[in-house]
Amino acid sequence: MKKTKIVKEILVKRLEPYGFEYNTYVHGRWELERTLENGVKQYIAVCKSPHISNEVRLEMNTSVEFRCIYMDRITNDPKYSQQYISYSSDEDFIRILELFVDFIFEHGLRELEKTSTPSSLILPDEQMYLNIFNNNAELAENFIINRKLAERYSLEDAYELVKQIVVEKDEREYDQEAKQLLVECTAFFCNKIISTYGGN
């Protein structure tokens, strides 16, 4: 049986009465979504491991705070102690989804509510996250070119520059131009950290 069909049969059916709808499957992530009266979106997703094809985990987050909620970080209950869980058959996959459903009703919905209050702080929106994820290298290069930065620019110099830009933008209207500059300097800073410590 196709995994998407199983997700819809187990997870979606159980959560539809609570306003969640199946959203999409992309990049190994089956996602459900609901929108609260205050406009905040809540997400529940079953995600494949990027390293092992037959392992999945439960992820939950909101449009206010994109930090994910994971089972093993919320409770000490031994049955929720694994982050990624492996399966070798449809029966295993169904069993894992049923475990996820149990966790969602025991802990997950309550944890989502804690991160569903709109903030007065300037926070990245969903499109900004996607832009950084999909166009990281290009954004970093644009930042270097537009700021006329040298390759020898140190991590400490980068930090001071990014900090200055963020402070400047917090004091101005948070318009589209400001958002674009913030995602560019974020991509630049992240790439600088990775290259400084030998990553690629």
Answer with the residue of higher pLDDT: 168 or 183.
183
Under DSSP, is residue 173 helix (H, G, I), strand (E, B) or coil?
Answer: coil
Q: What is the pLDDT of residue 95?
A: 96
62 and 137 assigned to the same domain: no
Task: Examine the fold and report which residue of 61, 88, 114 is the final residue of a domain before the chain moves on.
Answer: 114
Q: Say how far residue 104 (Cα) sits from the centre of its chain.
A: 18
Segments forming the whole domain that contains residue 24: 3-114
Q: Say how far residue 9 (Cα) sits from the centre of its chain.
A: 24
Answer with the residue of higher pLDDT: 165 or 93.
93
Q: What is the pLDDT of residue 174?
A: 59
Q: What is the pLDDT of residue 188?
A: 83
Tokens of 45: 């997703």
27 and 86 assigned to the same domain: yes
Share of the chain above pLDDT 90, in %: 40
12 and 71 assigned to the same domain: yes
Query: Is residue 119 one of the residues assigned to a domain?
Result: no
Query: Is residue 104 one of the residues assigned to a domain?
Result: yes
What is the distance between the alpha carbons of residues 158 and 175, in angstroms, rounded to a whole number?
A: 23
Answer with the residue of higher pLDDT: 153 or 104.
104
Task: Examine the fold and report which residue of 94, 114, 134 is the final residue of a domain before the chain moves on.
Answer: 114
Query: Is residue 121 one of the residues assigned to a domain?
Result: no
* Total domains, the chain: 2
168 and 80 assigned to the same domain: no
Q: What is the pLDDT of residue 106?
A: 95
Q: Please determine, for residue 165, whether its predicted confidence score (pLDDT) is greater than 70.
A: no
What is the distance between the alpha carbons of residues 62 and 66, in angstroms, rounded to a whole number?
A: 6
Task: Examine the fold and report which residue of 114, 145, 174 is the final residue of a domain before the chain moves on.
Answer: 114
Answer with the residue of higher pLDDT: 121 or 197.
197
Answer with the residue of higher pLDDT: 150 or 81.
81
Task: Tell me what the mean pLDDT of segment 124-140 comes to.
Answer: 83
Query: Is residue 120 one of the residues assigned to a domain?
Result: no
At 58, give phi and psi (nearest 5°): -95, 130
What is the distance between the alpha carbons of residues 55 and 52, in angstroms, rounded to a whole number?
A: 6
What average pLDDT is seen over the chain?
84
164 and 107 assigned to the same domain: no
8 and 107 assigned to the same domain: yes
Q: Please determine, for residue 176, whether its predicted confidence score (pLDDT) is greater than 90.
A: no
CA 92-95-97 angle, to 5 degrees, is 110
19 and 106 assigned to the same domain: yes
